[in-house]
Amino acid sequence: MNLPYRVTLEKRLDAPRIVVWLVPVVSILVALAFGAIVLAVAGADPLEAYGQILTGAFGSLTAWLDGEFYAVSETVVRTVPLILTGLAVAVAFRMRFWNIGAEGQLVFGGVFAAWVALFLPGVIPGIPQTLWVYLPLMAVVAVAGGAIWALIPAFLKAYLDVDEIITTIMLNFVAILTYQYLFTGPWKDPEGQGFPGSALFPEFTWLPRLTGRVTLGLVLALAAAVVVWLIFDHTKLGYEIALMGENPEAARYAGVNRAGIIIVVMVLSGGLAGLAGFTETAGISHRLQQGLAIGNGFTGIIVAWVAKLRPGWIVVVAFLLSALFVGGDQLQISMGLPASIGAFFQGMILLFILGGDVFTRYRVKVARRPAAVAVEG
């Protein structure tokens, strides 16, 4: 109380543009600086480690000259589901609907897609067994799977005002346990020799590869980003979503149907997450197995938030965070550091970016307390 000065925060009416851009950049630098300390404590040379992350995620110049782009293609592979889950949560978050359930919705999309690949040819043998029929079918069914899973919290919120944070989080567990039950139980590959997982999908259900392990899923994800951008900026629906997010009371006043829009938004959000389930099963694993629920639904929240819910930035941020993951894996291989170092950096960056937001919203003022001096009035 008796310090000679006191630091106070004053709300800004409008943050200057420079502050809006500078704060996140400085936040990331501070996060990396903190990361360096942790790396040093873990016994690694921080500069070397950062170098390893870079080459691990993007490859090295010598590798590029040899025509070797494995590292960067792996980063792109990890980017695809992050773009889709980032978009999924961004759609909901723009309406301030806190969908924390993208993980479960992704898993459900994967399960639905897997059902089509594994069982539909047997159920309806008449369907032509080609890519052109099966891939769109699986994609649509996966979107439906994610959407159905998202509709449960949507209806609960729309008609009973049940808090969506709780329901979406809890349904993740239900989805993940259901999927694990399926590939270890009824859908387990009889010829898998005890290895937990479904049978391999027939080849006509595999997403074609563009290069390396990068599949057509990348095109799907980028197209989804364009569609979401269109919805946000150029449709009545996007306008209503923004209005609901900024001021639900004003939206009601403007005649927006609250329940209806919650349901539409969650169909979109869950559908996008379900699509990520499709790209991961049909594109990467080609079977239902462990590894579908690896946290992409949660990392999508970081992606969306750091990108300030803008579709274009979601693509960029998804790529950068994916680079951290892939680079982090490299640290494990080359320097013997835990692979979770990538997740650690993501956490740090999110923490500092969210914390740094204080400086965009408030101005820091230092007030001096002068010694009381009597003067003549």
Partner 1 sequence: MTDTAPIAVALRGITKTFPGVLANDDVDLEVRRGEIHALLGENGAGKSTLMSVLTGLYQPDRGQILIGDETGSLRPVTIVSPRDAIGLGIGMVHQHFKLVPTQTVAENIILGMDGVPFVLDMGSVEADVAALSERFRMPVPVSAFIWQISVGEQQRVEILKALYRGAEILILDEPTAVLTPQEAAEVAATLRALAGEGKAIIFISHKLDEVMTVADRVTVLRKGRNVATVDVGATDKHRLAELMVGREVATTIDKDDGAIGPVVLRIDGVVARNDRGIVALKDLTLEVRAGEILGIAGVAGNGQRELTEVATGLRRVEQGTVTVDGEDLTNRPPVRFIDAGVSHVPSDRLGRGLAGNLPLADNMAMKAYRRPPIAAGPMLRRDRMRAFAGDLIERFNVDTPGPDTPARNLSGGNQQKAILAREITAGTWARERGRRPVLIAAYPTRGLDVGAIEDVRRHLIEQRSGGTAVLLISEELDELMMMSDRIAVLHGGEVMGVVAPAETTIEELGLMMAGEMRR
Q: Which is nearer to partner 1, 213 or 363 (CB)?
A: 363
In the complex with partner 1, the residue whose CB is nearer, 65 or 374, is: 374
Nearer to partner 1, 124 or 374 (CB): 374
Span between the terminal Cα atoms of the chain, in Å: 28
Rounded least distance, CB 365 to partner 1, Å: 5
Tell me the closest approach of the beta carbon of residue 43 to partner 1, in angstroms.
46
Shortest spacing between CB 249 and partner 1, in angstroms = 5
Would the CA dihedral through 318, 319, 320, 321 be positive or negative? positive
Residue number, 16 or 312, with CB nearest to partner 1: 16
Alpha-carbon 267 to chain mean position? 17
Helix (H) or strand (E) holding 28: helix 17-41
What is d(CA 78, CA 344) in angstroms, rounded to the nearest whole number?
17
Strands 214-215 and 5-11: unpaired
**Cα(65)–Cα(85) distance, rounded to whole angstroms?**
34
* φ and ψ at residue 194, rounded to 5 degrees: 85, -10
Q: Count other C-beta atoms under 10 Å from residue 355's C-beta.
A: 13
Smallest distance from partner 1 to CB 363, Å: 9
Burial, 141: exposed, middle or buried (Cβ in 10 Å; 0-12, 13-18, 19+)?
buried
Task: List the structure tokens of 210.
Answer: 């563009």
**Bridge partners for 198 per DSSP:** 188
Report the residue number, 16 or 51, with the smaller CB distance to partner 1: 16
Query: What token pair was written down for 20?
Result: 């809006």
**Which two three-digit tokens encode residue 7?**
């630091």
- Smallest distance from the beta carbon of 367 to partner 1, in angstroms? 4
Minimum CB distance to partner 1 smaller for 4 or for 67: 4
Cβ 212 to partner 1, closest distance in Å? Answer: 38
Cβ-based nearer residue to partner 1, 47 or 364: 364
Residues 6 or more apart in contact with residue 126 via CB below 8 angstroms: none
CB distance 197 to 292 below 8 Å: no
Q: CB of 231: closest distance to partner 1 in angstroms?
A: 9
CB of 2 or CB of 62, closer to partner 1: 2
Which residues here bind partner 1, judged by CB under 8 A? Answer: 6, 8, 10, 12-14, 16, 233-239, 242-243, 246-247, 249-257, 365, 367-370, 372-377
CB of 360 to partner 1, least distance (A): 13
| Cβ at position 232, least distance to partner 1 in Å | 10
Of the pair 25, 254, the CB lying nearest partner 1 is at: 254
CA-closest candidate to residue 282, choices 370, 205, 203: 205
Half-sphere exposure of residue 303: CA atoms within 13 angstroms, side-chain side = 38
